[in-house]
Structure 1
Amino acid sequence: MKKVLQDFSGRLLLIGCGNMAGAMLDRWLAAGLDPAQVAIVDPLAAPRAGVVQHASIGEWQAADGAADWIMLGMKPQQLGDVADVLAPLVTGGVHLLSILAGVSLADLAARFPDAGAQVRILPNLAARIGAGVSAVATLGDADERAIAALLGPLGQTVTLADDSTMDLVTAFTGSGPAFVFRLIESYAAAGERLGLSADDALALATATFGGATALLADSGEKPGVLTAQVASKGGTTQAGLDVLDGDGQLAALLTNVLRAARDRGRELADIARGEG
């Protein structure tokens, strides 16, 4: 298991610790991060052994008020209120990390101009088990080695030259697990409609999707190559593929799904800037 502490040190403050930020924190703690290095500002977050939790930024400031790394994990719509209180405290070499959908590096720089670096991270929920993917873009004098060490235990990391495509990445990988879960759910429901029990259908669907993605990742092949290894001309697989591929409907549907999620990210950015 990768150890965060190998190249990461300092005090980490999480502003908001819901599903995604909580998944990241739990993984970091499991990978060796000392709970004494962490503080949370979130009155509703589940408690973690050894991690100090505060109800507000003011309470944290009164108790300690020191952090080298601050991660924004609340709702994007709360950015304005949080920045009004937090910005005066983000100075010097403090790294500001953000997992807020739609909030650009330029937005962060405008709200937190005295931060040592702004770091925009787009993780996904599989980070909870170290199997996620995180896109990252930075602005300012970022400690790239420490950032890589911090993100390493979460899974794969893709470093972007800038954050111009981050709204699409948010839809593609951030929202992506939910879309996959819905596909598995629908696949299982189809099996149930055709005669499988609900439990058997879900178990078989989960194993089928999991095995297929694991094989794809391990093989290094393109998906089409593996598809051809399963399908044979005139066979059962090809009959199903003919339905999936008919009139390009599947590609069009998924394009529309990603477009809707991407566009919502842009709307959230406008709201965070007070323009929505």
Structure 2
Amino acid sequence: MTKDLTTFNGRLLLVGCGNMAGAMLDRWLAAGLDPAQVAVVDPAAAKRPGVVIHASLAEWRGAGGSADWIMLGMKPQQLGEVAGELAPLAIGDVHLLSILAGVSLSDLAERFPDAKAQVRILPNLAARIGAGVSAVASSGDADMDAVAALLDPLGRTVALPDDSTMDLVTAFTGSGPAFVFRLIEAYAAAGERLGLSSDDSLALATATFGGAAALLAESDERPGTLIAQVASKGGTTQAGLDVLDNDGQLAALLTNVLRAARDRGRELADIARGDG
């Protein structure tokens, strides 16, 4: 699949363009998507050359706006207020895309029943540099080749048979970069506490995590095999691993982190449905 969007066919409307939707848009524009094909409804959106920003859907409609692709990028809690105005526009051959945490395909189908397809996408922030991962599931008659063309410039795409695991995927990959950034931040802080300068500690931590992740991604080996190549019995690495592995506390901590994020996604879904 090409990462070039210069030949992408269709008009794209972004309803909400915060950090994640903005990262996706920036990558699409960098991949050659014509800014004239894009409209944004979000008064707080950052300006981008050639992309028209509207303060409201009413303003967009008044300017003669139309779209083949509509992507929901606002907060999940805003779905109720947006859907009533947007549903009459998501009809015919329009694909309704959503990056809203916790909002299921069945929720989307109920809110936008006349769209050609409802497509749920869970990207992450590394999409900004084309190194993200996006999980995708769809209902209706989705043009998955066109969906893939949009997602491919963002990084790796994982197609799911349905969205039953999406709340966990939201926590695992969508929230995941923030958890990794926190780990790097904590690792750097530990180095600083033990005597490194703040700048050196962060630089070394960033390079260490980045290099290890790149090595794992390029290797056919499992993490445990690579650990064994670094650690030796009775050595410095093993001394640190003994602390990390003590009583399974690290695995338990990360399980609790993911559980909390997953459960919050479910709570947001209830709020979006008006149940919370």
- Normalised by the shorter chain, which TM-score bucket? over 0.9
- How far 1:4 sits from its partner (Å)? 1.8
Asked whether 1:175 is paired with 2:175, we answer yes
Amino acid paired to 1:258: L
How many residue pairs get aligned? The number is 275
- Structure 1 residues without counterparts, runs of 5 or longer: none
- Structure 2 residues without counterparts, runs of 5 or longer: none
For 1:48 and 1:220, how far apart are their aligned partners in 2?
Answer: 40
Counting only pairs closer than 5 Å after superposition, residues 38-187 of structure 1 correspond to structure 2 as 38-187=38-187
Equivalent in the alignment of 2:9: 9
Alpha-carbon displacement from aligned partner over 1:132-188 (angstroms, at most 9, x marks no partner): 000000000000100001000000000000000000000000000000000000000
Asked whether 1:18 is paired with 2:18, we answer yes
Counting only pairs closer than 5 Å after superposition, residues 121-270 of structure 1 correspond to structure 2 as 121-270=121-270
For 1:61 and 1:221, how far apart are their aligned partners in 2?
Answer: 53
For 1:189 and 1:64, how far apart are their aligned partners in 2?
Answer: 53
Equivalent in the alignment of 1:34: 34
For 2:9 and 2:122, how far apart are their aligned partners in 1?
Answer: 22
- How far 1:5 sits from its partner (Å)? 3.4
Alpha-carbon displacement from aligned partner over 1:87-143 (angstroms, at most 9, x marks no partner): 011100100000000000000000000000000000000000000000000000000
For 1:119 and 1:41, how far apart are their aligned partners in 2?
Answer: 19
For 1:138 and 1:65, how far apart are their aligned partners in 2?
Answer: 25
- How far 1:221 sits from its partner (Å)? 1.1
- How far 1:50 sits from its partner (Å)? 0.4
* SS of equivalent residue, structure 1 residue 4: coil
* SS of equivalent residue, structure 2 residue 44: coil
* SS of equivalent residue, structure 2 residue 78: helix
For 2:135 and 2:15, how far apart are their aligned partners in 1?
Answer: 20
Amino acid paired to 1:62: G
Amino acid paired to 1:245: D
For 2:210 and 2:116, how far apart are their aligned partners in 1?
Answer: 41
For 2:94 and 2:15, how far apart are their aligned partners in 1?
Answer: 14
For 2:221 and 2:25, how far apart are their aligned partners in 1?
Answer: 33
Amino acid paired to 1:137: A
* SS of equivalent residue, structure 2 residue 252: helix
For 2:36 and 2:172, how far apart are their aligned partners in 1?
Answer: 35
Alpha-carbon displacement from aligned partner over 1:214-257 (angstroms, at most 9, x marks no partner): 00001121111100000000100000000000000000000000
* SS of equivalent residue, structure 1 residue 121: strand
Give the TM-score normalised by structure 2.
0.99
- How far 1:86 sits from its partner (Å)? 0.4
* SS of equivalent residue, structure 1 residue 232: coil
For 2:113 and 2:180, how far apart are their aligned partners in 1?
Answer: 38
Alpha-carbon displacement from aligned partner over 1:5-45 (angstroms, at most 9, x marks no partner): 34x31000000000000000000000000000000000000
* SS of equivalent residue, structure 1 residue 147: helix
- How far 1:49 sits from its partner (Å)? 0.3
For 2:131 and 2:107, how far apart are their aligned partners in 1?
Answer: 29
- Dislocated runs of 4+, deviation >3 Å: none
